Amino acid sequence: YGFGDANRYTYYAKSEKIRQVFLSKVRNQNGLTREEFHAMPAKDLVALINDPVLAKFAIEPSKYSLEQTVAVVKRIKAWGRT
């Protein structure tokens, strides 16, 4: 998706929802139950994610511009494929 698509897809404005979906992806790819995942310390979560940009996105909620959110979504889509 190009940056122009951010205007068409209001999904990109919902960074909290994107964060929840990403954390579910991390949990599922590592075979963790919800209980195990929620009990996990932040440093272990950062180690599982193994990407400084996505780790910051997952742990530190903040406001993101549409362009930043699009970039994060692209990174999330590529994450876990390697």
pLDDT in tens, 23-59: 999 999 999 999 999 999 999 999 999 999 999 999 9
In whole angstroms, give the CA distance from residue 45 to residue 40.
7
DSSP 8-class letter at 29 = H
In whole angstroms, give the CA distance from residue 51 to residue 49.
6
Nearest alpha carbon to residue 13 among 81, 75, 65: 65
pLDDT at site 40: 95
pLDDT at site 12: 64
pLDDT at site 64: 86
pLDDT at site 35: 96
- Give alpha helix (H) positions in 1-82: 15-29, 34-39, 42-49, 52-59, 66-78
pLDDT at site 61: 82
Mean residue pLDDT across the chain: 87
Looking at the chain, the whole-number percentage of residues with pLDDT higher than 70 is: 84
